[in-house]
A and B are shown apart, each in its own frame.
Chain A
Amino acid sequence: MIPQNFEYSSPRSLEAALDQLAGGPDGSADGSTKILAGGMSLIPLMKLRLAAPERLVDLRRVPGLNYIREESGVLHIGAMTTHYEVESSALVRAKCPLLAEAAANIGDVQVRNVGTIGGSVAHADPAADYPASLLALEASVTLVSKAGERTMSVEDFLVDTMTTALEPGEIVREVTVPLEKSGAGTAYAKMVQPASGFAIVGVAARIGEGFARIGVTGLASKAYRARNVEALLEGGADAATAAAVIAEGVDANSDLHASADYRRHVATVYAARAIRQAISRKY
């Protein structure tokens, strides 16, 4: 890998990381510093010199960012928790199997061993696996800066292609997921882009008594909740009928691997599959 020149630091505390992130000439973050949180997307971009940050602040040695725990009915996952750790966590598998299923679908073993949940949501790739499930789970992200912390829903956090609500100087600290009280069933169905391992289309479904939550990735410029599908399901429609509207009004992505029309079509197929499987998993 021959990237452009950059400075690298590996702070040992969150405070130091925030200081370094806000290390511009006037003490404020200026966008020339990037957080390294696994690097499974950033490093390939730097390799091609499509990204050329002046400074990288690596969070791997910052303590207190790698954990999975349950507190008062909420699952807390530290930003530096790897996909493999989520995929293999007994707690996640038992209490939030959709997230484990999504994590297991990411890239390949090597990527899952290094990539992190905080890095994935902050990068906001429109074809990433996590966002569909996080949307269906109504998850939130907690952001931290020198000014303090704030929490917002993942839905509000994801603004557009590779664009989030992160302000300069902010770091994703954790992802939180409210755990089910009822017996909702969940499933993630994904058509894999064979080269990259990203989703051509991925649909996460979470269906309980009287409610349905559907997250979609790969189809549009950002992952989103398909509220039209949710409403049909909540109104008693069957899986196929509800899934059929998933791409309505969506400006679908188009590339070598799937044209916009084909993506719309397979979105309906995968939505129906996710919905059927989620229903079969209700308990």
Chain B
Amino acid sequence: MSTTISVTEKLVGKSVRRREDPRLITGTATYVDDLKLPGMHHACILRSPHAAAKIRSIDISAAQSHPGVVAVFTGPDVAGVGPVPCGASLPGLRVPHHAILATGRVYYVGHAVAVVVATDRYVAADALDLIEVDYEPTAAVADPEKALEPGAPAVHPEWPDNVSFTYHQEGGEPEKAFAEAEVVVKQRITSQRLVPMPMETRGCVAEYHAAEKSLTLWSSTQIPHLLRTLVGQMLGLIENRVRVITPEVGGGFGCKLNVYAEEALTSFVAMKIGKPVKWIESRRENFLCTIHGRGHVDYYEIAAKRDGTVLGLRLKLIQDLGAYQQLLTPAIPTLSVLMMPGLYKFRNISADIVGVFTNCVPTDAYRGAGRPEATHGVERMMDLLAVELKMDPAEIRLKNFIGNDEFPYATATGLSYDSGDYAAPLKKALDLVNYRELREDQRKAREQGRLMGIGISTYGELCAFGPSPATPAGGWESATVKIDPSGKVTVLTGASPHGQGEETTFAQIAADELGVPIDDVIVLHGDTAIVQYGIGTFGSRGTAVGGAALYFALKDLRAKIKKFGEMMLESDDVTFSGGVCTCNKTGNTVSLAQIAGMSYRAMRLPVNEEPGMQATRFWEPPNFAFPFGAHIAVTEIDRETGHVAVSRYVAVDDCGNIINPLLVAGQVHGGVAQGLGQSLWEQAVYDDTGQLITGELMDYAVPKATMMPWIETAHTTTPSPVNPLGVKGVGEAGTIGCSPAVVNSVVDALSPPGVRHIDMPMTPEKVWKVLEGARA
């Protein structure tokens, strides 16, 4: 037996380069559209050009006889397929029947009307032009506030008020707080519809094996197991005969946390024609038919004492739902309500949500999902209160933060904040920008007639979804660790990473816990035939929940390894460390490979141990985790044009313990990019007839590299007590912290002429008009 002790450097906490990247940057990764199966056919979908219309008739004869076309299906053909599921439930929720192809009526531009299957994708697309649909257009409504007006067109004729649900939540004594308040500030704040815009659009390939009655569905999704369960139900298939595979996924941002009509439709078509079928979403379809995010009109009121102590917060939230409920559509605004107190001691809260149908594509989860809207609201209101009371925006925040000694903190919305030191990131951010000097610079700039702004935002985030009672599909996550006879390690995670980098971070965790080189570890995910049931990646949960499940599986294995080590070293005083078991008396060692080999050969076994070296854990988190932080944006406005330049951006995030600083920085950068997109450029705009007029990348302005400011990142570290890794989650933090910082900064810049609020996106024309209005 070897007597050398291998010492492995700890990897958790180090900026290990992404192990996913070589295949991505050399173009050898396999996305859904790269799949080519023998005999594969192609589907293209005819979509409604009208936001609201009756379908009088559909003539598919010319398309059917087009050379290369194998089949054409319309609504009545797919009547036996179950509806697109809504997984969220609220009291009195109206859920329209969401068939996978429109039947009788269309409800939004892009609504799927017919599907053509052909030998070739070009032929299928050509044949769409040969389908004649006789539409009778009816009045449409795209604006949620207009949809609530009496006499507005009814999106679903059976519900003429266009209300899908109302929801009230209250904590403390809001009526009393507002009655006793010394100051009340009110503001209408919107959070515009956004297109999530993953680089890879949606797409799927379906292959049906009739003899086995089994379906394999490759889909670009964030939730392979939930998709398997739900698409199986829609199609009437037996769950264990459905296999879902997610190949490489080119981004999701929440829009692939869903079950879409096309996933069932492509499967249905493959079952009908007995050939594999591929459907790939075009960018145009992605704009029209993949869920949008945000879509809030919020009416806020904040109550306070004159010394700046906050007393209460009231919200009337109008949520633009679109025409249907997708998987989590109605749940998203309830997350806004849960997070509306932010990091502050609001003991009195009242919120009313109205979920409104419009003739638009449904809204659902987009990076942050309800929390960016909430943070934007409370952080704008804190600034408005500071202006009203002539207080410094940093001071009013520091005055009202929940104290370090108050954790776990029970919020007025029913949450229990896990841990925090809320002043720390704000103080760090203020130090980084030299806040006093910066205000002095601003004073001088104003003397020169320049419009310079300093915007502060703090945020709290509801992450690591989550305890199962609070999550529609279950909030646990699973992990399996297998050690081969050679000692090599395979991790199977039920989370389905799609860009977050868990192939790297989970390998870091496994390498550390087992004391093996990281190259001895591989991480597999996203194939329901390989990986045990899992929930998926969304809501900043991958590491905080999936990583914790991994930790416990590794802990089980460490115990088993140690028992084998004790047996093989014939000692009860054995330490497992650095990938070897060492007898503390003799110094003799056995390696992990020797132990793993022994466990499979099983000539001898420790008492009460089974052969093999594998462990699976399903871990249920006891609570959410609550990351927090402070962002500061410095802006300068071009007085002549209204153009906003972000001259400085500082993000101080506390996401608990950090597994990989490089990946955390990447998440913050990406999140801030999307936050800046919402703040300055992006907007999904429907006109009054329900046409999406920003339906192309020529008109929908996603941030480009050249539009980004330098982002300075820093951290404070407050471990979460919720999970053994002490991590809180960071996937959405940048997006949540960003928009209020930028808007607060621009409003601060425009405050000398008397501007007190501006809505997003702050396009040059909008800023210029606000400025002109203030001058007038």
Residues on A close to B: CB < 8 A?
A: 2, 4-5, 44, 48-49, 108, 191, 193-196, 256-259, 262, 265-266, 269
**A2 contacts B700, C-beta separation under 8 Å:** no
**B765 contacts A258, C-beta separation under 8 Å:** yes
Binary contact track B273-307/A, C-beta < 8 Å → 1, others 0: 00000000010100000000000000000000000
7 A-B pairs within 8 Å (CB atoms) are namely A44-B698, A191-B764, A195-B701, A257-B765, A258-B764, A262-B768, A266-B764
In whole angstroms, how far apart are the Cα atoms of A194 and B761 in the complex? Answer: 12
* Inter-chain contacts of B125 with A (CB < 8 A): 2
Of A2, A258, A265, most buried by chain B (CB within 10 Å of CB) is A2
In whole angstroms, how far apart are the Cα atoms of A5 and B704 in the complex? Answer: 33
* Inter-chain contacts of A49 with B (CB < 8 A): 129
Task: Name the CB-closest residue of B to A268.
Answer: B640
Of A4, A108, A196, A257, which contacts B763 at CB under 8 A?
A257
Query: Is B602 located at the chain interface by the 8 A CB criterion?
Result: no
* Inter-chain contacts of A44 with B (CB < 8 A): 698
In whole angstroms, how far apart are the Cα atoms of A127 and B765 in the complex? Answer: 18
Query: Is B180 located at the chain interface by the 8 A CB criterion?
Result: no
In whole angstroms, how far apart are the Cα atoms of A269 and B126 in the complex? Answer: 47
A259 in contact with B707 given A5-B122, A194-B681, A194-B701 (CB within 8 Å): no
Across the A-B interface, the 8 shortest Cβ-Cβ residue pairs: A195-B701, A194-B701, A2-B125, A196-B698, A262-B765, A269-B640, A194-B681, A195-B699
* Inter-chain contacts of A265 with B (CB < 8 A): 768
* Inter-chain contacts of B284 with A (CB < 8 A): 48
Query: Is B432 located at the chain interface by the 8 A CB criterion?
Result: no
Query: Is B689 located at the chain interface by the 8 A CB criterion?
Result: no
Q: What is the interface of chain B mostly: helix, strand, loop, or mixed?
A: loop
* Inter-chain contacts of B202 with A (CB < 8 A): none
**A191 contacts B763, C-beta separation under 8 Å:** no
Query: Is B7 located at the chain interface by the 8 A CB criterion?
Result: no
Task: Name the CB-closest residue of B to A255.
Answer: B699
Of B685, B704, B707, which contacts A256 at CB under 8 A?
B685
Query: Is B121 located at the chain interface by the 8 A CB criterion?
Result: yes
In whole angstroms, how far apart are the Cα atoms of A266 and B639 in the complex? Answer: 11
Query: Is B594 located at the chain interface by the 8 A CB criterion?
Result: no
**B641 contacts A256, C-beta separation under 8 Å:** no
* Inter-chain contacts of B700 with A (CB < 8 A): 195
* Inter-chain contacts of B698 with A (CB < 8 A): 44, 195-196
In whole angstroms, how far apart are the Cα atoms of A103 and B594 in the complex? Answer: 66
**B699 contacts A256, C-beta separation under 8 Å:** yes
* Inter-chain contacts of B765 with A (CB < 8 A): 257-259, 262
* Inter-chain contacts of B29 with A (CB < 8 A): none
In whole angstroms, how far apart are the Cα atoms of A48 and B284 in the complex? Answer: 8
Q: Using a CB-CB cutoff of 8 Å, which residues 693-726 of chain B contact chain A?
A: 693-694, 696-702, 704, 706-707
A108 in contact with B704 given A191-B764, A196-B698, A262-B765 (CB within 8 Å): yes
In whole angstroms, how far apart are the Cα atoms of A4 and B125 in the complex? Answer: 8
* Inter-chain contacts of B696 with A (CB < 8 A): 48
Q: How far is the CB of B690 from chain A (nearest CB, A)?
A: 16
Q: How far is the CB of A242 from chain B (nearest CB, A)?
A: 16
Binary contact track B742-776/A, C-beta < 8 Å → 1, others 0: 00000000000000000000011100110000000
**A196 contacts B699, C-beta separation under 8 Å:** yes
* Inter-chain contacts of A2 with B (CB < 8 A): 44, 121-122, 125, 282
In whole angstroms, how far apart are the Cα atoms of A258 and B282 in the complex? Answer: 28
**B694 contacts A256, C-beta separation under 8 Å:** yes
* Inter-chain contacts of A257 with B (CB < 8 A): 699, 763, 765
In whole angstroms, how far apart are the Cα atoms of A196 and B702 in the complex? Answer: 10
Q: How far is the CB of B532 from chain A (nearest CB, A)?
A: 39
Q: How far is the CB of A191 from chain B (nearest CB, A)?
A: 7
Q: How far is the CB of A259 from chain B (nearest CB, A)?
A: 6
Binary contact track B459-478/A, C-beta < 8 Å → 1, others 0: 00000000000000000000
**A269 contacts B699, C-beta separation under 8 Å:** no
Q: How far is the CB of B463 from chain A (nearest CB, A)?
A: 31
* Inter-chain contacts of B764 with A (CB < 8 A): 191, 258, 262, 266
Q: Using a CB-CB cutoff of 8 Å, which residues 659-689 of chain B contact chain A?
A: 680-681, 685
Q: How far is the CB of B593 from chain A (nearest CB, A)?
A: 49
* Inter-chain contacts of A191 with B (CB < 8 A): 641, 643, 764
* Inter-chain contacts of B640 with A (CB < 8 A): 266, 269
**B707 contacts A194, C-beta separation under 8 Å:** yes
**A266 contacts B282, C-beta separation under 8 Å:** no
In whole angstroms, how far apart are the Cα atoms of A269 and B642 in the complex? Answer: 11
Q: How far is the CB of B666 from chain A (nearest CB, A)?
A: 22
Task: Name the CB-closest residue of B to A258.
Answer: B765
In whole angstroms, how far apart are the Cα atoms of A259 and B702 in the complex? Answer: 21
In whole angstroms, how far apart are the Cα atoms of A166 and B641 in the complex? Answer: 37
Q: How far is the CB of A48 from chain B (nearest CB, A)?
A: 7
Q: How far is the CB of B36 from chain A (nearest CB, A)?
A: 17
Binary contact track B638-657/A, C-beta < 8 Å → 1, others 0: 00110100000000000000
In whole angstroms, how far apart are the Cα atoms of A262 and B126 in the complex? Answer: 41
* Inter-chain contacts of A48 with B (CB < 8 A): 284, 696
Q: How far is the CB of B762 from chain A (nearest CB, A)?
A: 12
A269 in contact with B641 given A5-B122, A194-B707, A256-B694 (CB within 8 Å): yes
Binary contact track B119-155/A, C-beta < 8 Å → 1, others 0: 0011001100100000000000000000000000000
**A5 contacts B126, C-beta separation under 8 Å:** yes
In whole angstroms, how far apart are the Cα atoms of A256 and B640 in the complex? Answer: 20
Q: How far is the CB of A87 from chain B (nearest CB, A)?
A: 15
Task: Name the CB-closest residue of A to B680.
Answer: A194
In whole angstroms, how far apart are the Cα atoms of A256 and B699 in the complex? Answer: 8
* Inter-chain contacts of A193 with B (CB < 8 A): 701
Task: Name the CB-closest residue of B to A200.
Answer: B764
A266 in contact with B701 given A2-B121, A4-B126, A5-B126 (CB within 8 Å): no
Task: Name the CB-closest residue of A to B772.
Answer: A265
Q: How far is the CB of B318 from chain A (nearest CB, A)?
A: 23
Q: How far is the CB of A109 from chain B (nearest CB, A)?
A: 9
Q: How far is the CB of B286 from chain A (nearest CB, A)?
A: 13
In whole angstroms, how far apart are the Cα atoms of A127 and B274 in the complex? Answer: 50
* Inter-chain contacts of B701 with A (CB < 8 A): 193-195
**B282 contacts A256, C-beta separation under 8 Å:** no
Task: Name the CB-closest residue of A to B125.
Answer: A2
A195 in contact with B697 given A256-B685, A262-B765 (CB within 8 Å): yes
